[in-house]
Amino acid sequence: MASKGDKEKIREEIERLRREIEYHNYRYYVLDSPVISDAEYDRLFRRLQELEQAHPEFFDPNSPTQRVGAPPAEKFETVRHSVPMLSLSNAMSEQEFREFDERVRKGLGITGPVTYVAEPKLDGLGVELVYEHGELVVASTRGDGIFGENVTANVRTIRSIPLKLRRERGAPPIPARLEVRGEVIMPKSAFQKLNEQRAKAGEPLFANPRNAAAGSLRQLDPRVTASRPLDMFCYAPGDTTHLPFETHWDFLEGLKAWGFKTNPLNRRCKGAEAVIAYHAEMEKRRAQLDYDVDGVVAKVDRFDDQRRLGEVSRSPRWAIAFKFKAQQAVTRVIDIIPSVGRTGIITPVAQLEPVQVGGVTVSSASLHNMDEIERKDVRIGDYVIVERAGDVIPYIAGVVTERRTGKERKFRMPAKCPACGSPVVREEGEVFYRCVGLSCPAKLRESIRHFASKHALDIHGLGEKLVSQLVEKGLVHNVADLYRLEREQLAQLERMGEKSADNLLGQIEASKNTTLARLIYGLGIPHVGEHLAKVLAEHFGSIERLEKATEEELLAVPEVGPETAREIRAFFSVPDNRTVIRRLLQAGVKPRLERRPRAGRLAGKTFVITGTLSRPRDEVARDIEAAGGRVASSVSKNTDYVVVGVEPGSKLDRARELGIPTIDEEELERMLKG
């Protein structure tokens, strides 16, 4: 049996440990500046747990060990707030805020500036904490403002909430009963992590941090709450009658001294203009904060002034929520329209009933691709939530499924391009649908630029601006039209004198003398890059034979996979594409077949290049080909050598895996020279 003296010693040690651990919780969770290591903390914590287990007579629900969560409850008890938890009226503009300030000054009978405390308006859930003799006794949700739910067991698990108030020297005296109100929130970063975990576990996701905070706090099992990263900022008293303060600002300072977390962004402001400036500043900083803020709360600083102003219809006359521009709005999807982009990719765009979001009118939003539409299940006729944060482009965040009537229609990607009627193909493994039309007006600019680019027909002087003018003036409807341009037409264009017109015509003329590979590459068939164009040129020998090649024949070409074969077939099956090619040839484009010297010193050898070499890769590739070798883009068992430059990529790993010889640039040069 332990003697009375021993028991007393143990009680003292338990109390000392509790105080010490709470102090470290305070340093860590409230001040964000810990003074001991995690290991030291764990040691203290375990020691306390042992002592408490061995001496259950010293149980205390406010011991830091109880923050892991009590056993589940059947239901929440109801708590009556001793002073109703009011709501705030809103000011939606500077004008409305100035009107509020007018009313305050009139009510107080003063003409000079009123001192306010301005605070971020946190988007979480209102909670009241009641302390008796410095110890947490009850915590409740706001509920309907009069009655709330008793969530004490859950609130105990929130580490930044003091279970016992700090009694520091110089701190204001703690009233026998203290009521403190504030907002329980979940940090945005924690919310994201939580949702990621839930997605992995196949659990439903929370719509936003506020719902996540509410769902976590209103848990019958406090151990679940304990596992959720909640935080609380305190900002208001309940009953003010026994408070040792004259102003709200001093009250906030008192809260800090007692160990509560208050918002470091709170600011005392003299006069309405100072509040307006604070509001503007917070709206700018909003995106950087790790918690959601939907406005600023301005409160008359002096408690006696607050009492004189009183309240109307359950909102105080002395405080107001000065809201930020809404970043979310609900509106209807009138239609979903496929829109063809510069590269032929077809993007479904939602046409919306115009709505104000973040200060701008939004009437359409990209849905990006079919996967996105399916994931969000957006249908024509749906009500949707439109979001726009800061400078971000407006997007559809989700569907309000509760408002479905059954008349909504699903969007289907058209089989034909809405701009030119050519087939629309979806590439396997890709989320995009693409128009394959060579003359599609929607992608014309890009196809012409590609056709004229260095490794295609190489028409110098046909820059972006000029291409735009040619297309806009209707002088060029497809790449074949380039060969019909006349001097007079060109000379009319902006910044184009007769001399540069002649120059350009000379360039166009010169481009007729080209190679089959360049022509194939220049057509811009999806998946057909420079290398594959060479392979195809060599295999088929003429554009006509490539055009007629069946999928089977295409598949017989090494390096052509089913996806590429399908793309090539889709391209040549468009009659207009074939017409354009005919016209190119008629205009005098003469693709010559450049056979690789079969007898070169590198004949029959396939090379793959990885990493940076001392010369541009295509130059090196040309030398290899000139010597009869082949350059492939990926390493396979058919590769003979992998040329390794600086910072090689995964191709080197693959070469090692397959046991393919690797050489450096010097060795390659030696092989080239022989």
Give the DSSP per-residue string, 276-309: HHHHHHHHHHGGGSSS-EEEEEEEESBHHHHHHH
CA-based nearest residue to 183, from 293, 283, 258: 293
Applying CB under 6 A, the site for ligand IVH has a residue count of 15
Nearest distance from residue 128's CB to ligand IVH, in Å?
10
Considering only the stretches 58-66, 82-90, 395-403, 572-580, report the one whose residues sit in contact with ligand IVH under the rule CB under 6 A.
82-90
Of 24, 67, 81, 121, the residue at the interface with ligand IVH (CB under 6 A) is 121
* Closer by beta carbon to ligand IVH, 85 or else 480: 85
Could you say which residues in the range 187-226 bind ligand IVH, by CB under 6 A?
none
Q: Is 356 helix (H, G, I), strand (E, B) or coil?
A: strand
Nearest distance from residue 249's CB to ligand IVH, in Å?
13
Of 51, 73, 86, 171, the residue at the interface with ligand IVH (CB under 6 A) is 86
Nearest distance from residue 247's CB to ligand IVH, in Å?
15
Give the DSSP per-residue string, 397-433: EEE-GGG--S--B-----SB-TTT--BEEE-TT-S-E
Nearest distance from residue 287's CB to ligand IVH, in Å?
18
* Closer by beta carbon to ligand IVH, 14 or else 88: 88
Give the DSSP per-residue string, 181-219: EEEEE--HHHHHHHHHHHHHTTPPPPSSHHHHHHHHHT-
87 sits near ligand IVH (criterion: CB under 6 A): yes
CA-based nearest residue to 158, from 185, 122, 130: 185
Considering only the stretches 119-127, 187-195, 456-464, 540-548, report the one whose residues sit in contact with ligand IVH under the rule CB under 6 A.
119-127
* Closer by beta carbon to ligand IVH, 18 or else 210: 210
Question: What distances in angstroms separate CA 663 from CA 60, 609, 640, 643, 672, one per listed residue?
Answer: 73, 10, 10, 5, 13
The token pair that represents 596 in the structure block? 């690789």
* Closer by beta carbon to ligand IVH, 88 or else 652: 88
Pairing of strands 311-312, 125-132: unpaired
Could you say which residues in the range 584-613 bind ligand IVH, by CB under 6 A?
none
d(CA 217, CA 215): 6
Nearest distance from residue 318's CB to ligand IVH, in Å?
8
What would the 3-class secondary structure string for 31-64 be? CCCCCCCHHHHHHHHHHHHHHHHHCHHHCCCCCH
d(CA 547, CA 585): 14
d(CA 220, CA 413): 47
The token pair that represents 325 in the structure block? 């521009």
Is residue 543 within 8 Å of 516, Cβ to Cβ? yes
Nearest distance from residue 335's CB to ligand IVH, in Å?
38
* Closer by beta carbon to ligand IVH, 259 or else 316: 316
| Options 121, 164, 323, 651, the catalytic residue | 121
Nearest distance from residue 88's CB to ligand IVH, in Å?
4
d(CA 332, CA 384): 6
CA angle at residue 537 from 536 to 540, to 5 degrees? 75
Nearest distance from residue 91's CB to ligand IVH, in Å?
12
Considering only the stretches 114-122, 212-220, 361-369, 402-410, report the one whose residues sit in contact with ligand IVH under the rule CB under 6 A.
114-122
The distance of Cα 20 from the centroid of its chain, to the nearest Å, equals 41
Could you say which residues in the range 453-482 bind ligand IVH, by CB under 6 A?
none
119 sits near ligand IVH (criterion: CB under 6 A): yes
Question: What distances in angstroms separate CA 171 from CA 165, 167, 292, 448, one per listed residue?
Answer: 11, 7, 31, 76
CA dihedral for 534, 535, 539, 542, sign (positive or negative): negative
Considering only the stretches 115-123, 193-201, 385-393, 513-521, report the one whose residues sit in contact with ligand IVH under the rule CB under 6 A.
115-123
Considering only the stretches 83-91, 169-177, 276-284, 563-571, report the one whose residues sit in contact with ligand IVH under the rule CB under 6 A.
83-91
* Closer by beta carbon to ligand IVH, 277 or else 672: 277
Considering only the stretches 84-92, 101-109, 517-525, 529-537, report the one whose residues sit in contact with ligand IVH under the rule CB under 6 A.
84-92
323 is catalytic: no
Nearest distance from residue 390's CB to ligand IVH, in Å?
21
Using the structure block, give the residue that is written with the tokens 């074949």.
Answer: 480
The token pair that represents 347 in the structure block? 């993007």
Of 76, 100, 191, 235, the residue at the interface with ligand IVH (CB under 6 A) is 235
**CA terminus-to-terminus distance, the chain:** 97
Nearest distance from residue 276's CB to ligand IVH, in Å?
17
CA-based nearest residue to 291, from 366, 191, 214, 371: 191
* Closer by beta carbon to ligand IVH, 158 or else 419: 158
* Closer by beta carbon to ligand IVH, 84 or else 341: 84
Is residue 386 within 8 Å of 327, Cβ to Cβ? no
* Closer by beta carbon to ligand IVH, 88 or else 340: 88
* Closer by beta carbon to ligand IVH, 144 or else 335: 144
Q: For residue 25, what are the contacts with CB-CB under 8 A and spacing of at least 6? A: 64, 67, 159, 160
* Closer by beta carbon to ligand IVH, 44 or else 321: 321
**Residue with the shortest CB distance to ligand IVH:** 126
Could you say which residues in the range 122-141 bind ligand IVH, by CB under 6 A?
122, 126
CA dihedral for 143, 147, 149, 155, sign (positive or negative): positive
Q: What are phi and psi of 193, to 5 degrees?
A: -60, -45
Could you say which residues in the range 290-329 bind ligand IVH, by CB under 6 A?
297, 316, 319, 321
186 sits near ligand IVH (criterion: CB under 6 A): no
Which residues of this protein are in contact with ligand IVH, per CB under 6 A? 86-88, 119, 121-122, 126, 142, 183, 235-236, 297, 316, 319, 321
Residues with a catalytic annotation lie at 121
